[in-house]
Structures are given as C-alpha cells and as structure tokens.
Structure 1
C-alpha cells in the first residue's frame, strides 16, 4: 500500500531537482555567459554561438537546437526520457525569456569559472532528475552505434569544432576562456552525478582474515562480504596453495587510510587493493553522525 506514496515522493523529488537545475542553468547563462559572449560545449555551446553571431533570441535557439536531439533520444533511449527532456528544455527557454537575472561580473576569469560551475550544477541536477538540458550525449550515443569512437571522443570532437568556430569568428581569447568554462562545467556535472560522498571498494587478501574480519566489523562498524578463493601459486612453489577468505567492504574516501593501517597492523604482508565507486546506497553503509 505504501508503494504509490513512495512513487509520488520520487516524482516530486525529480521535478524539484529538475526545476532547481533549470534555474541554475538560467543563472549561468544570463548572469555570466551571454552578457560576456562566452560559450559552453554541446548543444548549449551551439545555441550560444548562433545567438552571438546572428543575435537570435537565446531562449528560442536553445529549444529549437535541442529538438532534433530530443527526437533522436526517443529512439535511442525511450519516449519517457524524450518527453521529460523536452519539458526540461522548454522550461529552460521560459526561464531565459521571463526571469531577469542580474549580470554578476564582467571579469573574464570569474565568468569562465563560475559560469561553468553554475551550468554544471544545472545540467547535473537535470540528469539526476531523469532528463537532459543538453542533447549532445544523445548525439554521441547515436554516433557510437555507427562508428568505432567512444562517447567521450565523439563529444570531444563536436566541442573542438564549436570552439574552433568561436576562435575564428570571435577571437582566440574568447574561445580559450570558453574552453575553461566547458571544463569547469564538465567537472561539476561529474561531481553532481557521482554523488557528494565518494566511496571506495576495498578488497583484502590475508592469512589473518578472521582477525581482520572481526576488527573491520567491531572497530570500523563496516559490513563485509566474503569471497572464497585460493592464495599461493608462487613461481618458486606453484603447486603450493591454500584456501583463503577474500574480504570485500566499502568505505568512504576519508576512511581508506585508517582501514589500511588497521590491516597492516594485523598482517603487514596482506594484499589490499581499492577502486572508486561513483555512488553507493543501501546495505550496511555507515552514516555520518551529527551532534545537535
């Protein structure tokens, strides 16, 4: 009986997230980029370039420029995604048309950095809400199926063309500052999408696994998973091997050093390797305790 309620909560959360994303993008465009003739990458960059060269209304240009990619998204992703993205892009157009944002600064370095940050926040939040404010990823996905290039290479190629045109038409300094804007925006998007707290997966192979398991759970308060494996297989004694418990756990980035020190204190020869996890949820993930 609670499922419908949860569903409505999730929909409302997505809607609010997308609206905030649209407002951030509008702020980045009208408060930083458009007044200073700066650019971004992707379809937004194309729209800004058309606005600057031909003085088209930026609100209309962004909507029209994204429509072909939204249609493409209907076939490459699904109809629901395409409709949500269309609503998102129209929302951005309305935001640009009717909301009067103040021009924050004309300092080129501040414009390139903070324009990129707010644009990245907006695009990242819209992606978290289940849609996209820029159709360049859809184009990259479409091209991926018809070429040997990766999505990153395709996006990079498209953006190189945008910035080359900007350099020729509006000058190299503007293009270079706009590249900084794009880089800042892309890093901010990654930060928003991957989550605010980065987790690290840790694998531990040790002959003292029983002690390590107990201390990980009792001292660090971490949940653990055990894989059954075998250790040995050295060059000098390839036939000598024995079963071993491979310990797997997930910790925050700040706890990695503490965990390694704990394992090293028990078994200095333990083999510990880690890899980053973009986002983790559920299971036994220790929450931060805040004092009120």
Structure 2
C-alpha cells in the first residue's frame, strides 16, 4: 500500500510540475512523448497514437527484463500522471520562463525520484535507463538527461529553439534531483545474523545478482548457533531486500552501513 501511495504521489507531483511550470511557458516535453511530438509535426500521425506505440515495446521489454511488478507499477504511474494532467488546471505560477524551467525541473525530479525508489518508472526513456543501470552502475539521472537532451536538440529544429533550450535546462535540473533521491549508485554493506541461515541464503541468491558470504557464528549471551551473511548491494535494492529479510526471519539482526568503495566483481552474473 505504501509503495502504491508513493508512486501516485510522485506522479501527481510531476503533473503539478507540468501544468503549473512547464506547459504554460511551452517548455517542450522530453523523452518518448517528445519523440511522438516530433513525429506528429513531421507526419500526419497522431501524437497520442505514436506515444502509445512507442511506449508499448518498452513496456514489453520491461516486463521481460525488469519483471511483472515493475510494469504494473509503471502502469499505475502512467495512469496517475494522466489523471493528474487532466484534473490539475493549467496556470503559470511564475511569469519568468527560466524560473519556471528550474522549479518545474526540481518538482519533476522529486516526483520521478519517488517513483524510481519504489522500483517503478514513469514510462518512456525511464524504462531504458532502468535497463541500462541494471547492467552498469551509472547514475540514473545522468542517463535520462543525456537521452532527453538528444530529443530536445532535434526538436529545436522543428519547434522553437527558445523552448528547446528552456527544456534542456529543466532536464538538467531534473537529472540532478533524480540522482540525489534515487542514489542507485550508492553501495551498502549488509550484515545479517539469523537462525535461518540456509533459508536466508537461498532467498538472497534467488532474488539478488550479488554475491553472498556465509559464516558461522555464536551468540555470546545465548550460546546459540547463528549464521552470519554479508553482501554488498546498491541503494536501489535496499527496500526490496528489507522486505525479503523480514519475510524469512522477522527476528534477524541486520546491520546496514554505507560502502565507500567496491573492488572486484560486484555482480554475481559477472563471474
């Protein structure tokens, strides 16, 4: 329930950013919707139809590579954003297009960051970025900014260069805020002490692409045998892993520390 509320809240915040800051100043849309706009300008094709057709293969790829839950959460975000854009009235909070681009970018980044932290996306290029960060440990906001900048640069030739440049500014701000919130590239070390060592190990190996070290331990006071498991994960994986640990052993002791640097093979599938 918390995850669904966070996704909806983040999507609604993006709706406010669009209708109150970006759209009133004709700051162009980025990502897949930006490509659909360009196609709609150059051809008789409907922008709405092209937006759906361009997103469809990405959702299918996301379903195969990122999981059913990811796609369902992404659909929730898309629906919430669509409703928000319809319900929230168009109004210019500021008359300055530069201030609007900056503050609109900040609000969009916060909304997108909230959605990403729930293992979901807002569709379009977000899915491509999530796929890339599953393969390499790149900052997610930087990838989104690079892909969107290409779209905006092309659109400048066909729409309006002032609006395109304002959009690039907004995209840059959005990318910085997304990285500050999402922090996928930050690494964490988890030390798990549990009575259910073998069961915990199997769950970690099944649900993670990280290596796990298993050690024997003994409670100093209880003198009972314990298993100690240690693994290093990205910040992005923490929410799901905490739920997994709780489902296996609610009494497990878990110590979570931020890792300064990782050397060697970080992903298990790299072996």
**Deviation digits for residues 234-253 of structure 1, max 9, x if unmatched?**
xxxxxxxxxxxxxxxxxxxx
Show structure 1 runs of 5+ residues with no match.
1-11, 202-276, 286-292
Instruction: Answer whether contact 1:63 1:93 (CA < 8 A) is retained.
Output: no
Instruction: Answer whether contact 1:163 1:175 (CA < 8 A) is retained.
Output: yes
Alignment of 1:1-292 (within 5 A): 12-46=1-35, 65-140=54-129, 158-194=147-183, 283=255
Q: Indicate how the Cα distance of structure 1 residues 284 and 167 shifts in structure 2: closer, same or farther if over 3 A, else same.
A: closer
**How many pairs were matched up?**
195
Tell me how far apart the structure 2 counterparts of residues 78 and 114 of structure 1 sit (CA, whole Å): 33
State which structure, 1 or 2, has the greater radius of gyration over its C-alpha atoms.
Answer: 1
Tell me how far apart the structure 2 counterparts of residues 53 and 121 of structure 1 sit (CA, whole Å): 33
Q: Indicate how the Cα distance of structure 1 residues 13 and 48 shifts in structure 2: closer, same or farther if over 3 A, else same.
A: farther
- Which is further off, 19-28 or 63-72? 63-72
SS in 2 for 1:283: strand
Instruction: Answer whether contact 1:37 1:52 (CA < 8 A) is retained.
Output: no
Tell me how far apart the structure 1 counterparts of residues 54 and 163 of structure 2 sit (CA, whole Å): 22
Q: CA RMSD in A?
A: 4.2
Tell me how far apart the structure 2 counterparts of residues 58 and 47 of structure 1 sit (CA, whole Å): 5
C-alpha displacement of 1:163:
1.6
C-alpha displacement of 1:58:
8.4
Tell me how far apart the structure 2 counterparts of residues 96 and 59 of structure 1 sit (CA, whole Å): 14
Q: TM-score, normalised by structure 1?
A: 0.54
Q: TM-score, normalised by structure 2?
A: 0.57
Show structure 2 runs of 5+ residues with no match.
190-233, 243-253, 258-271
SS in 1 for 2:158: helix
